[in-house]
Amino acid sequence: MRGERSKTNGLWLVPLTDKVSKKHIALTNGTANSAYHTSTLAETIQFLHQCLFSPTLDTLCKAIDNNQLIGFPKLTSRNVRKYLPASTATEKGHMNRMRKGTRSTTKTRPRPPDDEEDMRPKQDKDAEWELMIGATIADNTDGTLYTDQTGAFPVVSYKGNKIMFVAYEYRSNAIIAKPIRSNSDESLVAAFKEIYEYLSDKGFKPKLNVMDNQCSKAVQKYIQSQNTDIQLVNPDDHRVNAAERAIQTWKNHFLAGLNTIDPNCPVQLWDEFVNQGMITLNLLRASRVNPKLSAYAQLEGQYNFDRTPMAPVGTKSLIFLDPNKRRSYQNHALDAWYVGPAMSHYRNYRFWLPDTHGFRTGSTAKFFPAHCKMPAIEPGDTIRLAAQDLIQAIQNRNKHAPIDLMPKHTEALRQLVEIFKDTTAAEEVQSTPAPRVSAPSSSIDATNPERLRNQPRIHSRVTRRNTPMPTIMEETFESKELENESTANKENANPNNNSTLPRVQAAPRVQEAPRVQAAPRVEITVTPAMRPRRTIAQYRREKAEQLKAATPAPMPITQDDEINAVKANNVQQRRILPDMATMKTPLGISQAAVSKMLERTIENLHAPAFIPRSLKKASMQFEHWEPTVNAVVHPETGETITKYEKLANDPLMRDKWTAAMCKELGRLSQGYGTTAGTNTFFFMTLDEIKNIPKDRTVTYARIVVDYRPQKEDPNRVRITAGGNLIDYPGELTTRTAELTTTKILWNSTLSTPGAKFACADIGNFYLATPMERYEYMRIKADLIPEEFKQQYQLHDKIHKGYVYCEIRRGMYGLPQSGRIANDLLKKRLAPHGYYEVQHTPGLWKHETRPIQFVLTVDDFGIKYVGEEHLKHLLDTVKKYYELTIDMEGSLYCGITCKWDYDKRTLDISMPGYVMKQLQKYNHPPPKKPQHCPWEPAPRTIGTKSQETEPEDTSPPLDKKGIHRIQQICGSFLFYGRANDPTIAHALNELASQQSCATENTTKRANQFLDYMHTHPDAVIRYYASDMILNVHSDASYLTARNARSRACGWYFLGSIPKDGKPIALNGAIDQLCTVIKLVAASAAEAELAALFLNAKNAKVIRITLEELGHPQPPTPIHSDNSTAVGI
């Protein structure tokens, strides 16, 4: 029976006679009204081909002919073979070695290729349900789950995933991929559980699980709990496991799709692309149960492209910003990267936003593919589509669905049909492109190590690596004014120079290192008087004379005479040192000029340099800061000396500090005198300098000096490498203990019977770690003492005033030093039973011994019960490192600890620290004692209590005054967190006002310093307790600027409170002092917000306590607002 469906009532019209006239039956093909309408078939086919992860032509056509891709617009095998250009991404992902016997003269029985057998298996009705499991390892350090390791994925994903877990279900012929963090039991069991639940829900619960011989007990236990049999393959014959072939198929498909992402798209989003890759792969694979269905349709049902449209993964996009969520004059769209379809939403997509580092689902978006054209409807298409709809409507009308038309209307429509037929046919001929000849589509090498090395990393933390800044176009600050003048003249000469976005080309040229735009320059006001143009050399001389007249002491200038100005249109071809590897300038930021002026201000001060937080986040360390040091006080004049060069030229201090410099150079190299060398770096000859790898950046040496009386050698010189210029391709995050973790361990020591505390310091911790990837550094020859030059024969190794070094071991300043040193320590301590806990960074335990310790950089804080266990740890560490031991535990991370094990108390303090800082700022003692660190808001009652704090109308400070406020905040921040919680509010206020400080801010800063002078040595005392976390929460309503309220919290370890008994207080292990971001409508709302913030922080502390061995009951939080408590 054949019939058609009525368009008026939706009923099927089936004729009662066998003979049916063809004019009454309109055979219609399945159509899909997609989001993409275009008359250019080549654009549509190429776009959909990249959406499907660029499969091979034969695989795609067979899937189309088998009706596995119903609903994809205009995707027919005829159109694909005729209009799809050759795809380089397909070849990069699927190309294999030519099969033996392809052109053999011996007659052999033809055999279908493996790809055809894998994608189109024969129907198997009687086979048992089987699940073949495999894994591809993405990190060599994690080991391999299979003997046929397929290679390491170059980068860890944004969510921390390293491994792709691959499952192959036999009957449906489906391949299921799931990114996981590691091959640990926890990750693997979670992956097995998710896949088992998914297959069981789809009716394909496995009965037999075939897997590799390397299978953990935890995984076997879970599989057996699901009533599934396990079959392990032979140790040396993994071909029995069909997952091996599934892994190869998955990798080929995923790699082909990965090569069509935008060149600027972060590859760390690869785990977000897995979902679309898995969908498209299973759409191309036929099911064993029903070969007419795809593997995806067998599990999920028919895929509806109209309902859940796709785009090529990693496509640059703009997503619409709702008017209710955008500010005045804010752009209507946000930059984003497309990561996959939103399967639970109708016609929506998933995006990753680089500005917020978050994911968003949206329906209104604009795509800008890098390797194909975006299908778009053109004006002529609208007419042709309307004509085609009209033709189809007229031709399909029959007696079952009559249309009442007058004779003249019928005749007019017939004429219109004929006109449109001729017009559309002619336009189709004109618009249809000729079949491809030799125009292959473009692609990238997504996993190329060189490309990944130059691409910045992204993650949820704010570090130097995930805040990439554009490159400064001008190499010297002095040449900016001249270049600005030149640019302004060019712009004025061309008034019609309108900057517009270029249209996306079909096959754009992919560059290995895409050009980045320069940072916005800070406007510099110049007198408009006419004057002759100066050369750069004249400009430099004038600035040098002005600087010399304004500065009492000579300023060291480093790395400026050799740097040439570079034009903006030739960034990629700049060469600063023509005879050697390229020397990059520091990464630029939008406030580059302001930061340069800040640098000059710092050099004119006698106080040590302070870098604001905003610049620390961008890792903005200039090359001219290389001799920056900490404070050293002259024994006669009392002057605070901040430069090694000045110490080396001072007659009274020259011998002492040049000797310290020789010891530091010898310690880092091959030794000097009695100082043993660590072989951290080797001095390079002139021939070796020419062979520096082109992918390395020669960084600078930063010299730091300080006087440390608690050390064996108090006169300390340290050379660190300029880490802001190092482009390290690997992971940089190092897990180190926080101050709160250390305080919890101290309390645990007091509260554990028989426990004691000791400290240990690893000597040359960073310097003892070998590096597989060498780095390079140069030191100014004038800063190296003459006796050291003679011993190492450095006069013959000086190149343009610098001595070059090859860094072979971890060194202070290198961004990767902490990570590789920490990883090596884990590897060395693991065989002895020591491990770092899962959730608390820097907290270590032993598997059986009663010993725990925190690790902050290279300082051990050890809690132990029994000296034999402490001896076991120290002996283990001494096997690999030089160790300095403090059995009394009297000094840890600059904090003095006084233990009284009899009374079970601990006093922590930082004696002398405050007075040293006050001396640095030349702050005189107050005339009368100051007992309030910050002037409180005036107390108001009645209706005035609802009024906000008045605005500060006092004159603003100059740059020097603002910099002083910033220095004060930075100097006392660690002291406040570690030792004096009473100054937290004052520091919070100063920090919030430092960017727009006024004279009133200076008065309050002086009041704060008066308070510090009155109370210079704060002491926190801890008592033994039941180790139960207690939180005191409070809020201050409308006491902050802009109608904001404040939240505070006090965290201490005590006991469970009991009714009718006072609460036993203890020293704070942490405190909260912040401004609530939202405007509270009442005091109760402010109290409720404070409770939320404190409970949020308490959750993290509870995890640390439980990992340390102190189970926690429900945490008591104390509040004095009954309304908030009731809510």
Q: Residues 890-910: pLDDT tens digits?
A: 999 889 999 999 999 999 999
Q: Does residue 227 register a pLDDT over 70?
A: yes
Q: Does residue 576 register a pLDDT over 80?
A: no
* Distance (Å, whole) CA 53 – CA 261: 10
Q: What is the pLDDT of residues 141-158, one digit of tens each?
A: 333 333 343 455 778 888
Greater confidence (848 vs 553) lies with: 848
CB 338, CB 315: distance < 8 Å: yes
For 75-102, the three-class secondary structure string (H helix, E strand, C coil) is: CCHHHHHHHCCCEHHHHHHHCCCCCCCC
Q: What is the pLDDT of residues 522-572, one digit of tens each?
A: 333 333 334 445 555 565 566 566 555 544 443 333 333 333 333 333 333
Q: What is the pLDDT of residues 180-217, one digit of tens each?
A: 888 788 888 888 899 889 988 888 888 888 777 667 88
What pLDDT sits at residue 453?
A: 64
Burial 471-504 (b: 16+ CB within 10 A, else e): bbbbbbbbbbbbbeeeeeeeeeeeeeeeeeeeee
Q: Whole-model pTM above 0.85?
A: no
Q: What is the pLDDT of residues 649-705, one digit of tens each?
A: 887 888 888 898 999 999 899 999 888 888 899 999 999 999 999 888 899 998 888
Q: How does residue 26 score in pLDDT terms, banded at 50, 70 and 90?
A: very low
- Helices 592-604, 959-978: axis angle to 10 degrees equals 80
Which segment of 170-174, 256-260, 794-798, 884-888 scores lowest on mean pLDDT?
Answer: 170-174
Which segment of 83-87, 453-457, 916-920, 1073-1077 scores lowest on mean pLDDT?
Answer: 453-457
* Distance (Å, whole) CA 376 – CA 382: 11
Q: What is the mean pLDDT of residues 8-15?
A: 68
For 1084-1100, the three-class secondary structure string (H helix, E strand, C coil) is: HHHHHHHHHHHHHHHHH
Q: What is the pLDDT of residues 805-822, one digit of tens each?
A: 999 988 888 888 888 888
Q: What is the pLDDT of residues 583-629, one digit of tens each?
A: 333 333 333 443 444 344 444 433 333 333 433 333 333 333 333 33
Greater confidence (1092 vs 1124) lies with: 1092
Which segment of 115-129, 295-309, 701-715, 733-747 scores lowest on mean pLDDT?
Answer: 115-129
| Residues counted in the chain | 1127
What pLDDT sits at residue 1099?
A: 93
Q: How does residue 490 score in pLDDT terms, banded at 50, 70 and 90?
A: very low
Most confident region among 73-87, 222-236, 435-449, 1099-1113 by mean pLDDT: 1099-1113
What pLDDT sits at residue 449?
A: 73
| 882 Cα distance to chain centroid | 34
Q: What is the pLDDT of residues 447-486, one digit of tens each?
A: 777 777 666 666 554 443 444 333 333 333 333 333 344 4
What pLDDT sits at residue 312?
A: 94
Q: What is the mean pLDDT of residues 30-47?
A: 61
CB 16, CB 400: distance < 8 Å: no
* Distance (Å, whole) CA 844 – CA 851: 9
Q: Does residue 844 register a pLDDT over 70?
A: yes
Nearest partner of 284 among 109, 121, 110, 488, judged by Cα = 121
Q: Does residue 760 register a pLDDT over 90?
A: yes
CB 817, CB 777: distance < 8 Å: no
Q: What is the mean pLDDT of residues 252-258?
A: 90
Q: Does residue 56 register a pLDDT over 70?
A: yes
